[in-house]
């Protein structure tokens, strides 16, 4: 569920969160965020 939320937030044109912003907010590394947003949307 968290993966889907991160993916949706990054790809939302109304949300200007960067990889660094999301990494800080969810306490994970930027490389983890990059893997999440670069892949296909997780099934919820």
Dump pLDDT digits (tens) for 7-31: 999 999 999 999 899 999 999 899 9
**11 within 8 A of 39, measured Cβ to Cβ:** no
Residue 42 — very low, low, confident or very high, per pLDDT cuts 50/70/90?
low
pTM value is 0.75
Q: b/e map of 14-24 (b: 16 or more CB within 10 Å)?
A: eeeeebeebbe
Q: How confident is the model at residue 39 (pLDDT cuts 50, 70, 90)?
A: confident
């Amino acid at each position: 569920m968290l993966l889907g939320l991160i993916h949706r937030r990054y790809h939302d044109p109304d949300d200007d969160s960067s990889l660094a912003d999301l990494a800080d907010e969810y306490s994970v590394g930027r490389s983890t965020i990059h893997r999440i947003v670069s892949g296909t949307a997780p099934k919820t």
